[in-house]
Structure 1
């Protein structure tokens, strides 16, 4: 396979991959009927936008509170959080260590309301005696409306007492430097009869459309169970069928580019993982625990952990063994994970993510040098056989059978493998795609600076210098080798390939384009070294 065809193959593979992703997103785009699945949404009030799961044990008694709701604010070193006293839900979260946009002073809002779209974290107690009722959730009380972390831990208690005198204390536990928040429910049964409660935790997010062709990051729900370590459950999946899985432990999450929010219930009990499309086009994924009996004049505590922050593998794995899989490297995760570890190690030494990208590209290309050498050597030998190939065509004319037999015999005598240029490319493609996902998914590259005008490796090059240089590197590579393809259509495609790729890469994150540019430059250097060695052996390579 000639090098021009190799470039064409790589280009078509990359473009086809992204187009397939785009088609897959379009084909599976959520087509939500506003009335779909709302039969499972039990609300008695038209003003209620909260979903309270049905108890596993019978009907819920009618109860409501008319107390006035309010919002309390919590500030830590990493969060600014707002909690609605109605239900005690987290309705807004600002990540103080992350900018909304590069250079801005506004922190990144992970949870909240965005142009009418909601993204909330909800939790409550249902069951026969739980305070959370369909359409009538409890209004919690606090001693103050603002809280601030001053030490290593901040506990924010919210209390509610029902009409029977049962006391419920919902406590959020924030810790210094941590994005995981503890949830503790303390139930104090002061009555003479046993009561039953059941903890549910869920994330609610308005159904959203996919991003652009370049933005291929997954936006949607995911879950893990005892059987499935990590499974995506998209908006369209929710519209088609409500999730209902009984499992030991597990977790549920909503994933977006660079960030994730996830509920991790008790891993010591059976949980029900569920989903639905609720009123207002809201997609919900949650976990419901086992019913807990609290005896008369006794207390019981139920708990879960909620994570809301960056997709950092080490932190997520510490919360749940499989939660790090939400850093979604796709089906090549087993290659991407080691490459990311190497990238982080290089950054720890070099101190610059752009330089680390260059370094890992050099390492990967050097490790694959034997494959590259085999590829270029095979292509050069094939080019050297072009005169003999032309003679065989002249000799056998339209007799394809005899021409094919003569060609294979020539290959055997010359010890040339006609597929020798293809196999190395096929072996290298998984590495390239794995690195593609590493650069796409790594939170560390968000707003990471390189040099000069490249102040954000996760954004496109503002002056399009890298895409233009990439196109120039492709043009140089073509010029180093003569155009050997004879098909007019292929010749036109090869001629315009540098331009096509330059335009295609204009909107790519600059970190990705930097990788491809450096990879191309190294390939050019390797090509010159390999060809010079072959020419010294008398093998005509160019011209």
Structure 2
């Protein structure tokens, strides 16, 4: 029993250390995507550009160059109620997106830059390749024209049309459709084939990002690409995977995305078409993941429209699932998603009632601890009974000496006679650890908790306690819990380890999200109250709790 408890505590400590490493990576300034001081003029001067036509042709389009010469172009600005966007007239790519509802710093005035020149390149690209696609022209990607250089959303919908006429007189209109309150942007290509020949084009959409560097040996909260197909709904494919091997997957529908902490960008094509998903490493330490639609033949003197949707915003599971049934998996709760998802739903419901995420965390802790009370009672009862059996166990050791077989048999007979389960104190702890891990990912992944205030000094429950008050209180509560628990360990080394546990865990929790530490502190306080109630009831029944 003693070794089992020690093993569980060591396991919990190891898990806490790994979680600390993962969370610390996510908040390490060298890992975060920060705003660049570069202005948009620097993006269009023709130096070190990412929106340079780095599309990936299919195997039948090997003649299409992967790099197109730079030409001067203009920038079109769009402002909606949720973000500001900049579109490059060359290629009609989205080269910048700032999320107005998400400041870079808490209570700051600068909107979070999701796309743009941010420690490298992060752009959304799209175009038409194939035999007659304007993006397949060896002279360079098309320069679109627009009737305005700036657009503002005033109603419920804003359309930004970009026009291009090729040498044959074919008119291509690339239109972005913005809607009030939505982070998904519609893309529509209208091809007007006023020639006497059949045209062949192929729509491609892709996300380009500079390869991210890691500053730790452990994996960070995921930063990289992900895609989904009918066979594989959610598959992470990071920069090292692309360096090793490019994907070339055909699927009906599907999606591609780039995932980071709290935010995601994703291309969702026509789900009724057979599409090709691909990746490619590019010069300049950048990588892309994209989708090519099927080849479309447009008869002479006819029009044809091609559509896709681009999402650029927070990890809102409901909004993502509305675009694609599997895209909500970008809110990555890991293997314990089946616990994390209902816990987060409960947490949101509590927040809707209490209006404060800190109070919601306290409320969910009370609910979880109440639900686990029968197991907690069984745990403490088993531990107290084990404590009472220690003198008998010591006598058995002296009686049987080195005969471990007879000692083990005598122990089992005694457990059976006394109706004691030696693992009874471990099982409830094992059940609580998945909940602890599931809540960790809820606090880590849920954008709703980003910059969420509680009160007093706790202004961001997704960040560590700036004054380390919660970790210290947690250590104190853990120390009180240990003092109240009957000590079953007789080995001096194990006793010393148990004594240092509050200090070790407090150190680990210094850098944990304050919301998670708040949960664990409240959990300990409730455990202390439950323990006092349980032990009082046991003493009334004549069960000795302490020596």
Same fold, judged at TM 0.5 (above): yes
Partner Cα separation in structure 1 for residue 223 and residue 273 of structure 2 = 29
The yes-or-no answer on 1:127 pairing with 2:130 is yes
The yes-or-no answer on 1:12 pairing with 2:16 is no
Q: In 2, are the aligned partners of 1:65 and 1:139 still within 8 Å (CA)?
A: no
Partner of 1:51: 54
Q: Deviations over 1:298-341 (max 9, x none)?
A: 11110100000010111111111111111001011111111111
Q: In 2, are the aligned partners of 1:449 and 1:456 still within 8 Å (CA)?
A: yes
- SS of residue in 1 equivalent to 2:363: helix
1:185-264 residue pairs with structure 2 within 5 A? 185-210=189-214, 216-264=220-268
The equivalent position to 1:404 in structure 2, one of 394, 405, 408, is 408
The yes-or-no answer on 1:375 pairing with 2:379 is yes
Cα gap change, 1:512/1:47 in structure 2, threshold over 3 Å: closer, same or farther?
closer
How far did 1:212 drift? 5.9
Partner of 2:328: 324
Q: In 1, are the aligned partners of 2:123 and 2:208 still within 8 Å (CA)?
A: yes
The equivalent position to 1:387 in structure 2, one of 384, 391, 394, is 391
Partner of 1:490: 494
Partner of 1:468: 472
The equivalent position to 2:524 in structure 1, one of 501, 520, 523, is 520
Cα gap change, 1:512/1:19 in structure 2, threshold over 3 Å: closer, same or farther?
closer
> Structure 1 stretch 398-407 or stretch 249-258: which is displaced more?
398-407
Partner Cα separation in structure 1 for residue 262 and residue 72 of structure 2 = 37
Cα gap change, 1:462/1:515 in structure 2, threshold over 3 Å: closer, same or farther?
same
Q: Deviations over 1:406-442 (max 9, x none)?
A: 1111111111111112222222222221111111111
How far did 1:6 drift? 7.5
The yes-or-no answer on 1:448 pairing with 2:452 is yes
Q: In 2, are the aligned partners of 1:55 and 1:128 still within 8 Å (CA)?
A: no
Is there any run of 5+ residues in structure 2 with no aligned partner, and where? 27-46
> Structure 1 stretch 517-526 or stretch 417-426: which is displaced more?
417-426
The yes-or-no answer on 1:171 pairing with 2:175 is yes
The yes-or-no answer on 1:511 pairing with 2:504 is no
- SS of residue in 2 equivalent to 1:114: coil
Partner of 1:363: 367
Partner Cα separation in structure 1 for residue 48 and residue 101 of structure 2 = 38
Partner of 2:38: none
Q: Deviations over 1:239-271 (max 9, x none)?
A: 111011100000111111111000000001001
> Structure 1 stretch 532-541 or stretch 418-427: which is displaced more?
418-427
> Structure 1 stretch 393-402 or stretch 152-161: which is displaced more?
393-402
Q: Deviations over 1:483-508 (max 9, x none)?
A: 44233433332222111111111111
How far did 1:20 drift? 9.2
Q: In 2, are the aligned partners of 1:61 and 1:128 still within 8 Å (CA)?
A: no
- SS of residue in 2 equivalent to 1:143: coil
How far did 1:13 drift? 4.8
Partner of 1:304: 308
> Structure 1 stretch 135-144 or stretch 93-102: which is displaced more?
135-144
Partner of 1:501: 505
Partner Cα separation in structure 2 for residue 61 and residue 310 of structure 1 = 35
How far did 1:511 drift? 0.8
Q: In 2, are the aligned partners of 1:152 and 1:176 still within 8 Å (CA)?
A: yes
Q: Deviations over 1:184-208 (max 9, x none)?
A: 0111112110010000101111111
How far did 1:394 drift? 1.2
- SS of residue in 1 equivalent to 2:102: strand
The yes-or-no answer on 1:459 pairing with 2:463 is yes
> Structure 1 stretch 472-481 or stretch 258-267: which is displaced more?
472-481
The TM-score with structure 1 as length reference comes to 0.91
Q: Deviations over 1:114-144 (max 9, x none)?
A: 23x1111111100111011368211111111
Partner Cα separation in structure 2 for residue 289 and residue 374 of structure 1 = 59
Cα gap change, 1:295/1:46 in structure 2, threshold over 3 Å: closer, same or farther?
farther
Q: In 2, are the aligned partners of 1:92 and 1:113 still within 8 Å (CA)?
A: yes
Is there any run of 5+ residues in structure 1 with no aligned partner, and where? 26-44
The TM-score with structure 2 as length reference comes to 0.91
Cα gap change, 1:206/1:64 in structure 2, threshold over 3 Å: closer, same or farther?
closer
Cα gap change, 1:47/1:464 in structure 2, threshold over 3 Å: closer, same or farther?
closer
Q: CA RMSD in A?
A: 2.5
Partner of 2:83: 79
Partner Cα separation in structure 1 for residue 461 and residue 325 of structure 2 = 30
Partner Cα separation in structure 2 for residue 428 and residue 13 of structure 1 = 15
1:527-538 residue pairs with structure 2 within 5 A? 527-538=531-542
- SS of residue in 2 equivalent to 1:247: strand
1:31-70 residue pairs with structure 2 within 5 A? 49-55=52-58, 57-60=60-63, 68-70=72-74
Partner Cα separation in structure 1 for residue 169 and residue 187 of structure 2 = 22
Partner Cα separation in structure 1 for residue 274 and residue 214 of structure 2 = 34
Count of aligned pairs: 523
Cα gap change, 1:139/1:438 in structure 2, threshold over 3 Å: closer, same or farther?
same
- SS of residue in 1 equivalent to 2:9: helix
